[in-house]
Amino acid sequence: MKSQISTLVFFVATMGFAQFGAPSGISRVPHQNGLVEAPEFYILEWKFGTQLKEKATDLTIIVDSLGNQKVNALAGPDDHEVLYTSDISTPVCADGECKLMHIRFYWTILGQYAGFDRYPNLPLTKNDHDEFQYMDYLKLHQLLMDDNSILKRRKMEELVKKPKQPKMEGVDAVAGATIKEIKESVVSGALYSCYTAWHIVHGSIKEEILQRTSASIDADVILNMLNSRHADYQLFALKRLDEKQYEENYARIADIFKSGIPLVRTFIIKNLPDSFWNSEKLQGFFWNSFSEIDINSRSLLLNNINRASPKVSQGLSLQLQSMTKNQLKIYLKHLEDSNRMSSSIKENLLAFANSRSETIAYLVSDFLEDYQ
Amino acid sequence: MKSLLVGLCLGLFSCSIFSQDILIEAESFDNPGGWVIDPQFVEQMGSPYLMAHGMGEPAKNATTIVNFPKTGDYHIWVRTMNWVPGQWEAPGRFQLKVGDSTIETVLGQRSGWGWEYVGSTKIEMTEEQVELIDLTGFNGRCDAIYFSTRMEEPPTSQKKLVEWRTKLAQEPNAPEKGEDYDLVVVGGGIAGCAAAIAAAEQGLKVALIHDRPLLGGNASSEIRVHTLGIYGHFERILKKLDTEHYPNGSAESKLDQEKRDNNVKSYTNIDLHLNYRAYDAVAKNNIVQYVDARHTGTGERKRFTAPYFVDSTGDGWIGFWTGAEFSYGRESVDTYGEDWEEWGELWSPKEADNAVMGSSVLWGSKLTEMKQIFPDVPWAMPVAKAYEEVNGEWQWEFSRNDLNQIDDAEEIRDHMLRAIYGSFSNAKKHPDNNNRKLEWVSYLVGKRESRRLVGDHIFTFNDAKTGNKFPDAVVIETREVDVHYQTVLEDENNPDFISEALFYKTPEYYIPYRSLYSKNVDNLFMAGRNFSTSHIGLGGPRVMRTTGQMGAAVGLAASLCKKYDVNPREIYTGYLDEYLKVIKEQKYIEIPDSKQ
């Protein structure tokens, strides 16, 4: 998932480099036997004081000509794995010249990219031997966060192929979106390094880590994931909760619904157990977020309008400005079908219908005309 | 135009001695000037309309001559819509000129389609010129102009409006013109064209009905999506129709357009009914009897009868009207076992929903020698936000779960127009783009997915994944299964009009003939994106060489249906070997015995 990319770019652009260490100097030494501070480039939250110890696993990554490189787990005091890591040295070859790239990668316990640390005195370099600058590392981090990068489906030789000349004059000589997308996503002058790094991070190791985690998952880990801010963890946990656990964790689930990404909201609202819809209190937490959530999630909530309490029908009459045209139609039809048109709802509808700033006020006017 | 109005006026005159009423359908103007005819949303808003698609420069006036039954004072209404109502001036404003007088009222300001009162005017001559004057260049729209000596606004609700229009035009229920064919193909995209050619080559008399002046649908130079996929058994036919692999939106599509139009026209037994949009079809006892279509400009209607029909409308309209079973949206992951764990809910959801892949509107700009001004577009900014771009590719795509790709297609198109104009306006703020000018913006929605008609077999992800070689495999594909989602699902800060594709690499896979005819409408074939498939199944074969293969396959099947006087299903149950032989034999043009 790429949910953090734009936030990160914005963050760096506005806050400068302070949060990430010196822009051009050498990074701190990656810890040999564990981790006591967040990796330099990192996507998960890191609690101050966290200490992770390294545990050997049987996982490896095969690197061209250098054989297997070990992948270790990093575990917390309760011995639960928190991250996976590997110190990678791999040849990067361009135009017949090969150099070694040294980097330490981190994966989440679901096998997704979590971050990297660079090595002191072993900076990454570009084709022309220039060293990576801080912004280059940051761009590499962004690229690695993109698990659906254009690099995924392309062979290296395809990426360096020159585009065809167009047949008609005046047509830009570009091979469509592809070249543009590649240029935007990789570090300038370091296509080979980026390509190699991406394919190591997103190679078969992802699936192997996921399988390892799935085989040993327990309730505590699932609960930790539910409480994480990381959307993939949230979804993984939500999929594994039974009805009782949904009810026990309703406050956290309602909180994720309000603050999470639309994809997670969508999952929650489509999979809420019936017990939520039968309880005015439990469903209330979700309806209360109506005006703050995205349009798609609002539509999914409205799919359940006929299971909503009268209080919800009433409350929504004050939130008509948050509805799209079709959502408003669903709500009005609900009022008609459910016979819940109270005097106060009607008053709210009238106020909306008479508002000059509401562009779909006419729908409510028409409705009120027919309703009378 | 003139004759239509005279007839109309006489008709009305005979039924009302108290008033004079004249309805002018804007799409039938004598000269549309710089306005374009937009027939895409007839089923939703009632009619083709004229739109001032000037890309920021006011479109040249549209003009027509109106014959009034008598001179005198007339009230005037215009049926229009403000396509972006809000706290700004309406983007598509225009005025009406009657004779030499421009009427002051600024039009295009009401929310939702309906009538705006223009004012009253004195008609001093029975023959007057009426003009539409575009004030903005930003997609003002006019469906119809109504002159009446009475101060009585025409109805707005869709149902009443249809009745009112029919009464006014004194149209009989059935079109007066009827034409009989061996095969009627509705929809002239790549699939429809291929179906028409394949059937015509086997000697069938074919009608090809298409609602645009140019053939090719999404591949046409009006939409400009390049064709992807392989040729399968139909290289010879599909090479007459497909495109080069230029960037989507490229002007190079014009070269392929000429090739395609000429190739289809070269068949004497294909009657090409361009600019006719089907508006109804009727089945009796599960047999399609006829399709009715109306000219998008003149309004002339025709009834097409045949023993067999091909629905290549994309939206499955013929199937829909005749009661064919269809699906829309995403099946639950368990319905057909279409899981891909890596992408989970983005790929196939635990619970079914109405999400589909979105529609694209392609566009481009060019650098010129001179400074180019682009007007402020405050009404576009709530959609574009800070996004900036100078052209659009396939990722410019929009779907949202409260919007249906058929019923809400106008809103979807308009959302994309706001995205385009707003993003271009943002890009224009950079000095590098001072000389940049919008060159082309499509006003046609390039749809990926809508209704899918249900056949005897529903093609799914598993058919692609396993490369299931059906006995009736007639379409072959190697392209990955590629399913799109809106990136806003992952991050609310992303623009809601940009999508991302998920690609699943498959082995060579096959589509069976049983996915190309309706399960419950006995004489209906389908080809194109509305073939029988699941949402994920559509991910691979929705591209246009593949849909072209479907078209060619049903065209050949239709020829055997005619030969044995049987329905499409019976080709599978009784004549499959011969059908597969016909497919094989048509690959190359036969060399006459005398030259062998």
ipTM for the predicted complex: 0.88
Contact flag A5-B491 (C-beta cutoff 8 Å): yes
How far is B26 from A316, CA to CA, in rounded Å?
Answer: 41
Cα A133 versus chain centre, distance: 26
pLDDT of residue B159: 82
User: Crossing angle for the helix pair A250-259 and A219-226, nearest 10 degrees?
Assistant: 40
Report yes or no: B188 and B296 within 8 Å, Cβ to Cβ.
Answer: no
Amino acid identity at A327: Q
- Average pLDDT value for residue range A70-91: 94
CB contact under 8 A, B252 and A167: yes
Residue A101 DSSP label: E
Cross-chain Cβ contact B254/A168 below 8 Å: yes
Q: Which residues of B119-158 are buried (b: 16+ CB within 10 A; e: fewer)?
A: eebebeeeebebbbbbbbbbbbbbbbbbbbbeeeebeeee
On chain B, the residues whose CB falls within 8 A of the CB of A361 are 111
**Which one of A148, A177, A361 has the shortest CB-CB distance to B395?**
A177
- Residues with pLDDT less than 50, chain B: 1-17
Tell me which residue in B111, B401, B491 faces A3 most closely, judged by beta carbons: B491
What per-residue confidence (pLDDT) applies to A8?
Answer: 40
pLDDT band at A225 (very low <50, low <70, confident <90, very high): very high
CA distances (Å), origin A15, targets A2, A7, A10, A18, A92: 21, 12, 8, 7, 33
Rounded to a whole number of angstroms, the distance from the CA of A25 to the nearest CA of chain B is: 32
Distance from A129 to chain B by nearest Cα, in Å?
31
Phi/psi region, residue A369 (left: phi>0; alpha: psi -120 to 50; beta: rest), is alpha
Answer whether A172 touches B (CB < 8 Å).
Answer: yes
Contact B82, B110 (CB under 8 A): yes
Q: What single DSSP character describes residue A31?
A: P
C-alpha B153/C-alpha B533 separation (Å) is 46
CB B98, CB B121: distance < 8 Å: yes
CA angle, B353 as apex, B351 and B357 as ends, to 5°?
125
Query: Quick check: A349 and A323 in contact, CB under 8 A?
Result: no
pTM score > 0.95 for this model?
no
Secondary structure class of A61 (helix, strand, coil): strand
CA of A125, closest CA in chain B: separation in Å?
31
Do the Cβ atoms of B242 and B227 come closer than 8 Å?
Answer: yes
SS (H, E, C) B505-558: CCCCEEEEHHHCEECCCCCEEECCCCCCECHHHHCCCCCHHHHHHHHHHHHHHH
Task: Answer yes or no: are the C-beta atoms of B95 and B107 closer than 8 Å.
Answer: yes
Phi, psi of A216 (to 5 degrees): -120, 15
Average pLDDT over chain A reads 85
Q: What is the structure's pLDDT at B172?
A: 79
Closest-CA residue to A200 (of A117, A86, A72, A38): A86
Residue A177 distance to chain B (closest CA, Å): 6
Q: For A148-305, list the strands marked E by DSSP.
A: none
Amino acid A2: pLDDT? 47
Within 13 Å, how many C-alpha atoms sit on residue B320's CB side?
18
Residue B21 CB partners (closer than 8 Å, separation 6+) = B12, B146, B147, B148, B149, B150, B168
Q: Please report the number of interchain residue pairs, chain A to chain B, with beta-carbon separation below 8 angstroms.
A: 109
Return the structure tokens found at A48: 């101050």
At residue B237, the pLDDT reads 98
Can you say whether the dihedral through the CA atoms of B171, B173, B176, B181 is positive or negative? Answer: positive
Directed axis angle between helix A250-259 and helix A262-271, to 10°?
140
Pairing verdict, β B140-148 and B287-295: unpaired
Least confident of A233-242, A353-362, B176-185, B372-381: A353-362
Of A168, A266, A359, the CB nearest to B86: A359
Q: Which amino acid is at B294?
A: R
Q: According to the model, what pLDDT value does residue B11 have?
A: 37
SS3 (DSSP) at B340? coil
Mean pLDDT of A354-371: 87
Q: What is the pLDDT of residue A177?
A: 55
Which chain A residues are closer than 8 Å to B478 by Cβ? none
The DSSP symbol for B455 reads: B
d(CA B510, CA B191): 17
Residue A21: the pLDDT is 32
Length of chain B in terms of residues written: 596
Residue A44 has pLDDT above 60, yes or no: yes
pLDDT digits (tens, 9 = 90+) for A30-42: 556 789 999 999 9
Beta carbons within 8 Å of A43's beta carbon, 6+ residues apart: A4, A113, A114, A115, A145, A230
pLDDT of residue B20: 83
Which of B88, B156, B332, B401 should be substituted to probe chain A, the one whose Cβ sees the most A Cβ atoms within 10 Å? B401
